[in-house]
Amino acid sequence: MSLLDPLMHALAAFIATAQLWLTSLGADPTTAWLAAIAAVVVAVRLALLPLVVHGVRLAHASAAARPQLRALARKYEDRRDPDSVRRYLEERRLVSAEHGMSRLGCLPLLVQLPIWLSLYHLLADVAGGTSVGAMTPELVASLGAATLLGVPLAERGYLGGGPTHVAVVAGMALSAAVIAFVTQRYLVTPNTSLDGLPEAMARAHQVMPALSAVGLLVAGGVVPLALLFYWVCSSTWTMGQSAVVMRWFATPGTPAAEAARLRRSRHGRGGAGC
């Protein structure tokens, strides 16, 4: 029994219930399957919103603490004896506690990883004809028969079904990759402070948008089309969420925060002239 089995069965029950409900309302099988997968995205991301809010608060707390942490690092930069190291770590802990910092900033991503893995294994098993939990043999057959523009949702890979197959799979993978790149490059990076990060980490952050896009393009060749659709939906949600955070909850000290300050300044001058 895999550690992911309970989550796979929970996802199977959710998708099966949504698919059967939509079918009972008259939706065709393909529409019902796609809507059920989109519903998984909505349910998961809504459940993770408290962690997203926590991450935004953590980013703001880190920005507020940054001047003190830099001063602390300068104070102890030439002191390597054990007692100085101990005092430095203790003072750093006190500064972090004062500003409410924690180590849980990447928790939303870590929580999503087992969900992605479970959904991948669930769809891969069902696409291969295996029943999983609430995904009965009838639903397995239904997914196997469902198609998007003639391409089976259970199909995987770029090749094997002619030009239409290539176009649909490549289009879905490219859509997910472009959305991920735009989100990282234009919404996440401007709202992330690289000040004080080691040079290697700063460089890695700069190439992350391209790496995310390339990773999705590569993965598009090995996952079922249904999972590609999930990634497109999830990436779209992430883009919208990141846009909201960058515009209205920008992290202090970042280019996004400066852009927000300039917008407020322009609006203020415009209001004063009315």
Instruction: Find, among 40, 52, 42, 50, the residue nearest to 188 by Cα.
Output: 52
pLDDT score recorded for residue 103: 59
pLDDT score recorded for residue 272: 52
pLDDT score recorded for residue 69: 74
Give the list of residues 6+ apart from residue 36 with CB closer than 8 angstroms, or none: 14, 15, 18, 19, 22
pLDDT score recorded for residue 274: 43
d(CA 263, CA 255): 12
Q: Mean pLDDT of residues grouped by 10 in the chain (274 residues)?
A: 82 93 92 94 90 84 78 78 78 74 60 80 83 91 90 85 88 94 92 72 79 90 89 94 93 88 78 50
Number of Cβ within 10 Å of residue 19's Cβ equals 26
The domains of the chain are located at 5-258
d(CA 231, CA 226): 9
Helices (H), the chain: 5-24, 29-76, 82-98, 107-127, 137-145, 162-182, 199-219, 225-248, 255-272
pLDDT score recorded for residue 105: 52
Residue 139 has, within 13 A of its CA and on its CB side, a CA count of: 25
| CA 15 to chain CA centroid, nearest Å | 20
- Which position has the token pair 């397995």? 140
Reading the block at residue 225, the tokens are 């089309």
Residue 64 has, within 13 A of its CA and on its CB side, a CA count of: 13
d(CA 239, CA 252): 20
Cα angle: 221, vertex 229, 18; to 5 degrees: 135
pLDDT score recorded for residue 104: 54
Question: What type of residue sits at position 46?
Answer: L
Number of Cβ within 10 Å of residue 260's Cβ equals 18
